Structure 1
Amino acid sequence: MCTVIVRVPERADEAVRLIAVRDEDPTRSWEPLGTWWPEAYPDTVGVRDNRAGGAWLAADLAAHRLAVVLNRADLSDRGDDEVTTRGHLALEAAAGRPPAAEPTTRGFNLVEVTPGTVRVVSWDGRQRREQTLAPGIHMVAHDEVDDPATPRIAAWLDRFRDAGPSADARDWFDAWLDVLDASAALAPQDDRAIVRDNRPFGYPTQSLLLCLASVDRDGVDVRYGEFDEPGHWQRAAVGQVTAASTPR
C-alpha cells in the first residue's frame, strides 16, 4: 500500500518530480539506496529487498530512467507456487525492459519515469494496462491513478496540486513535505493517512521510508531517508538522506 506523488512537466525539458513512500513489513530485511546489482545492473541504484533480491525503487543513472513498484490486489486464482516476485519489475523497467504482456507476478502498479514522461503499467492478475500520465500532479497507490475511491488520494491529491512545486524550484520537495506534515495529523491507522500503519486492514505493512527523485535530460537525482519509527512521519528523515545522482 505504498504511495507515489509525481509531477509530470508541461515541457519535455523540465524535470519529473517524485516522492515515493514505501510500506512494507518492518521485519522484512532491506538495504538502503545503493548499487546492489553490479553485475546484472551495473549503472543502477535502488532500495534492495533482501528476501527476493529485487528492488522496490530502482534508477539507471546512465540511462536516466527510474521505476518504482507498488503492490495491487491480484484477482487471479493462481497459487503462490505459480507466481514470481515483483522485485524484478523496477530493475527491469529502469533497464528499459517493461513488464511482459502477461506478467507472472501478483498484481502491481509500476511507475516508469523517463525525462519528461511518466507511464504507469498496471496488472491485476487478469489484465495488463498502461497509461502515459498527462502533465500535472498525480497520486498512485494500490488501485487506479488519481483514484477518488482511495481515501488518501481523495484527501490529499488536491492539496499536493495546490502546493506545486514550480518546475524550477531548487528545494522543490519542501511544498510537498508541508502536505505530508499536514497529513501526519491523522493517525497512521486512518485510511486517509499517507504515512501508514496497515495492520488494522489485515496487512503487516507500515510506512518505513521515502525517496525523493528528479529525472530530466541531464540525469537522475534520488534521495533516500528512513523513518525512526515505522508508520510515523518524520520530516527529519529527509535531512539524513543517502543520495545518488548522475554525474554532471
Structure 2
Amino acid sequence: MCTVIIRVPEHAPEPVRLLAVRDEDPGRAWNRLGPWWPDAYPGVIGIRDARAGGAWLAADPAVRRLAVLLNRADLSDRADEQVQTRGSVALESVAGRAPAGHPPMRGFNLVEVTAHTARVVSWDGVSVSTTDLPPGTHMVAHDDVDDADTARIAQWLPEFREAAEAAGSQEGWWTPWLAVVERSAQLPGTAEAAIIRRQSFEGIPSYSLLLAVATVGEDGLDVRDAPLAEPGQWPPVDLAPDAG
C-alpha cells in the first residue's frame, strides 16, 4: 500500500509540497516520469503502469494540477470481471474530471493537488467522499487521512510535521522529509509501521519501488522521481533536477 505525505500551506503564496512512495508488485513493468499519453492527455507527464497503460502519479504543469492514486479496501461484493482498472483516475483528475457517482473500479484514495490546495477523494466501492485538507502536514495510506489506526501514520506523522516545519520553503525542502523516511527504513519492510515496505497481499508481492516529490504553486509545478535501486530496500535516492 502506497504512502503520501503532503504539506498544505498556511498562506496562499506558498506552494503545496508532497512526498509519495509507490508500492507495487516488482514484477509488474512500469515507466518513469514522462509524457506517456500525448494523444489522450497532451502535456501531461506521469509515472506509467506499462501493463495497463494508466498512471500512478500524473501531473499537468501547464495548469498546475497533480494527482496520486493509492489503493483502498473495497467494501463491495463485485466480482473481478465487474470492475475496470484504476489507471485512468489520476489522468482524468489532472484533466479536471474528478471521480464521482459510482466508479466501476476497486477502492482508492486519490490525492488531488492544485496551487495552494489539496484534497483526497475516497472510493470504498460503496460511496465517494471528499476530504479538503486544511493547512498543515497530512499523511494518506490505504484508509482515511491522518488515520491514527494506520500504524505508519500513527508512528511517523508527528515526525513529518516536525520535518516540514524545519524545512520551511528552503530549496531542497525534501531533505528533512527524507531523513524521516530513512529512519523509518530501520524497521523491517514487513512491519506494520514501515514506509519502505516489503510485503505481500493475497500472494502478490507489494514492495516499495519509487519515491517522488512535488511542489505545486503559483510559480509552477515541479515533480521529480527516484526509483529505489532494490525493491523494498532504502538506499540514498537522487532527486536532482535531472532525476526524472
Q: Which category of TM-score, normalised to the shorter sequence, fits these structures? A: over 0.9
Distance, in Å, in 1 between the alignment partners of 2:242 and 2:130 is 32
Are 1:224 and 1:241, in contact at CA under 8 Å, matched by a contact in 2?
no
| 2:74 aligned partner | 74
Distance, in Å, in 1 between the alignment partners of 2:11 and 2:102 is 33
| 1:246 aligned partner | none
Distance, in Å, in 1 between the alignment partners of 2:5 and 2:154 is 13
Are 1:184 and 1:195, in contact at CA under 8 Å, matched by a contact in 2?
yes
Are 1:24 and 1:204, in contact at CA under 8 Å, matched by a contact in 2?
yes
1:93 aligns with 2:93: yes
Q: TM-score scaled by structure 2?
A: 0.96
Distance, in Å, in 2 between the alignment partners of 1:186 and 1:180 is 10
1:17 is displaced (CA, Å) by 0.4
Are 2:48 and 2:54, in contact at CA under 8 Å, matched by a contact in 1?
yes
| 1:17 aligned partner | 17
Distance, in Å, in 2 between the alignment partners of 1:212 and 1:105 is 27
Distance, in Å, in 2 between the alignment partners of 1:241 and 1:125 is 39
Distance, in Å, in 2 between the alignment partners of 1:74 and 1:236 is 33
| 1:221 aligned partner | 222
Are 1:223 and 1:242, in contact at CA under 8 Å, matched by a contact in 2?
yes
Are 2:224 and 2:241, in contact at CA under 8 Å, matched by a contact in 1?
no
Q: Which runs of 4+ in 1 moved over 6 A?
A: none
1:117 aligns with 2:117: yes
- The letter for the 1-side match of 2:32 is P
1:45 is displaced (CA, Å) by 0.4
Are 2:76 and 2:125, in contact at CA under 8 Å, matched by a contact in 1?
yes
Summarize deviations over 1:107-127 as a string: whole Å, max 9, x none: 000000000100100000001
1:237 is displaced (CA, Å) by 3.9
Distance, in Å, in 1 between the alignment partners of 2:114 and 2:5 is 15
Using a 3 Å threshold, how does the CA distance of structure 1 residues 237 and 171 change in structure 2: closer, same or farther? Answer: closer
- Where structure 1 has 5 or more consecutive residues not aligned to the other structure, the ranges are 244-248
- The letter for the 1-side match of 2:169 is D
Using a 3 Å threshold, how does the CA distance of structure 1 residues 182 and 201 change in structure 2: closer, same or farther? Answer: farther
- Where structure 2 has 5 or more consecutive residues not aligned to the other structure, the ranges are none
* Stretch of structure 1 that moved more, 202-211 or 75-84: 202-211
Using a 3 Å threshold, how does the CA distance of structure 1 residues 64 and 122 change in structure 2: closer, same or farther? Answer: same
**Which secondary structure state, in structure 1, belongs to the residue aligned with residue 205 of structure 2?**
coil
| 2:145 aligned partner | 145
1:190 aligns with 2:170: no
**Which secondary structure state, in structure 1, belongs to the residue aligned with residue 146 of structure 2?**
coil
Distance, in Å, in 2 between the alignment partners of 1:5 and 1:135 is 13
- The letter for the 2-side match of 1:21 is V
1:92 is displaced (CA, Å) by 0.5
1:11 is displaced (CA, Å) by 1.4
Are 1:72 and 1:107, in contact at CA under 8 Å, matched by a contact in 2?
yes
Distance, in Å, in 2 between the alignment partners of 1:89 and 1:119 is 14
Summarize deviations over 1:51-106 as a string: whole Å, max 9, x none: 11100000011110000000001010111111111100000101111012211110
Are 1:34 and 1:47, in contact at CA under 8 Å, matched by a contact in 2?
yes
- Give me the identity figure in percent: 56
**Which secondary structure state, in structure 1, belongs to the residue aligned with residue 93 of structure 2?**
helix
Using a 3 Å threshold, how does the CA distance of structure 1 residues 205 and 27 change in structure 2: closer, same or farther? Answer: same
Distance, in Å, in 2 between the alignment partners of 1:175 and 1:191 is 23
Distance, in Å, in 1 between the alignment partners of 2:240 and 2:218 is 26
- The letter for the 1-side match of 2:210 is L
Corresponding residue pairs, total: 243
Distance, in Å, in 2 between the alignment partners of 1:156 and 1:203 is 26
1:44 aligns with 2:66: no
Distance, in Å, in 1 between the alignment partners of 2:27 and 2:42 is 28
1:163 is displaced (CA, Å) by 1.3
Are 2:227 and 2:237, in contact at CA under 8 Å, matched by a contact in 1?
no
